[in-house]
Amino acid sequence: MTTTSMRSTVRAGIITVALVLLGGCVAEGTTSEDEAQSDEAAQLADELNTALESAGLVPVATSTAEQLYGSDGGWTCEVVGGLDHKLAVNQFGNLSANHRRIFLDPSIVAYDEAVIQTYCPDELDDYQDVIDGIEQKETIADPS
Q: What is the pLDDT of residue 88?
A: 72
What average pLDDT does the segment 85-99 reach? 64
Q: What is the pLDDT of residues 45-64, one digit of tens each?
A: 999 999 999 999 999 999 99
- C-alpha torsion 109→115→118→121, nearest 10: -60
Q: What is the pLDDT of residues 2-38, one digit of tens each?
A: 655 555 555 555 565 555 555 554 444 555 556 545 8
What global pTM score does this model have? Answer: 0.68
Domain ranges for the chain, please list them.
3-131
Q: Report in angstroms the alpha-carbon separations of 46 from 32, 87, 99.
A: 19, 29, 36
DSSP H stretches of helix in 37-123: 39-54, 62-69, 74-79, 83-91, 106-119
